[in-house]
Amino acid sequence: MSGLPQANGQRYHFDIYAILEGSQELYFGHEVMINVNMVETVRLVLPNGEGIEKCYLSPTKRRGIERRCLLWAPCSNGKMLGEKLNCHIPKTCTKPECPVCAVYGGLITGRQTLIGRLTHGGGVAIQQLLPEEKQRAMHPSAILNDDPSTNSPTPFKRQYNEPGLLYPIYNHCLSVTEDEFQAVAYAFLDSLARIGSGNPKGASLYEMDNTPLLVVDKYLVPHGARPVISPGETSVERALQIFQDKARRVNGGTGNGEYITISNGNFERWIGWSAYQRLQAWADAFVNRVLKAND
């Protein structure tokens, strides 16, 4: 048994596929290490035996940023949502009715676990551009020294992901209602400006011909091709073409190019601005239903 109460309405699977662009240099941090000024990379071996290394936007880091966007979301009573729900990191509430734990999962050590129904994937950069090392200066306010004469900026070096790197990323929801998915839509959109482990932060949806490379699926049966980019792909042109071709490939679907559906309603796909507007509508519904609630 899942431990979840019976849903008030139909459950669906939801997927978000997107390509993010780092519009500035970004620092994501090296794996789980702290105070190490390196960014995370992954090593790949191509089918021809060639080994390559790429920058990496870890799915677990995106997941943590999205959860915090929800817990720190402003409520109408002046509190943040985490305060309103008494749900925090690492002390999650694990209540099935919690809009955060319901999809992201929760854990109370030794007592209770609520399995998350949202998984994150992707994050391997398309271009084969290694991190750039730059010298920075520590702000005097970060130096704890009683002697004022020593409180001067201290130079240090830190790695950054190059501006313009493209990161294919994916969010997958298993058996959630539309109300539950609203929190995922809100967190996905709100997290874009906050992606990163330090400063500077922020990424954006990459646009091609003024259209974001974004696909949203809602389904009971996965009829559409998954717009997933191989981690071994290093050509931006090929990767973007693969994404667009797969986005339009829906078996037996009908639509206008931005919205495709299967006649029995078992599968719906939104593409580009249509997908973005659909996510915004779900995010607005989350704000009205949860953040503006007076209880």
- pLDDT, mean of residues 148-173: 79
Q: How far apart are CA 273 and CA 213, in angstroms?
A: 9
Token look-up 């042109």 returns 237
In a domain, 268, yes or no: yes
**Which pLDDT value is given to residue 25?**
83
Tell me: the pLDDT tens digits for 40-62? 889 999 888 889 999 999 999 99
103 located within any domain: no
| Residues 39 and 132: beta-carbon distance below 8 Å | no
Interatomic CA distance for residues 104 and 85, integer angstroms: 15
Quote the pTM value: 0.89
In a domain, residue 1? The reply is: no
Confidence at residue 210, expressed as pLDDT on a 0 to 100 scale: 95
81 within a domain of the structure (yes/no) = no
| Residue 6 lies inside a defined structural domain of this protein | no
Q: Is 100 a domain residue? A: no
Q: Region 155-162: what's the mean pLDDT? A: 76
Q: With a cut of 80, say whether residue 27 has pLDDT above it.
A: no
**SS3 for the chain, per residue?**
CCCCCCCCCCCEEEEEEEEEECCCCECCCCCCCCCCCCCCEEEEECCCCCEEEEEECCHHHHHHHHHHHHHCCECCCCCEHHHHHCCCCCCCCCCCCCCCHHHHCEEECCCEEECCCEEEEECECCCCCCCEEEEEEECHHHCCCCCHHHCCCEEEEEEEECCCCEEEEEEEEEEECHHHHHHHHHHHHHHHHHCCCCCCCCCEECEECCEECEEEEEECCCCECCCCCCCCCCCHHHHHHHHHHHHCCECCCEECCCEEECCCCCEEEEECHHHHHHHHHHHHHHHHHHHCCCC
Q: Over range 114-121, report the average pLDDT.
A: 94
Q: Which of 88, 119, 100, 274 is nearest to 186 (CA)?
A: 100
Range of the domain at 238: 12-55+119-139+157-288
Task: Report the relative pairing of strands 267-271 and 132-138 from DSSP bridges.
Answer: unpaired
User: pLDDT by residue (tens digit) across 165-224?
Assistant: 999 999 999 999 999 999 999 999 999 999 987 778 899 999 999 999 999 999 999 999
Predicted local distance difference test score (pLDDT) of residue 243 = 97
Lowest mean per-residue pLDDT among 94-98, 182-186, 199-203, 239-243? 199-203
Which single residue is written with the structure tokens 């998350």? 116
72 within a domain of the structure (yes/no): no
Number of structural domains, the chain? 1
- pLDDT tens figures, 135-146: 665 554 455 555
The string of pLDDT tens digits covering residues 247-259 is 999 987 777 789 9
Average pLDDT over all residues of the chain: 88
Q: Is 93 inside any structural domain?
A: no
Band (pLDDT 50/70/90 cuts) for residue 82 is very high
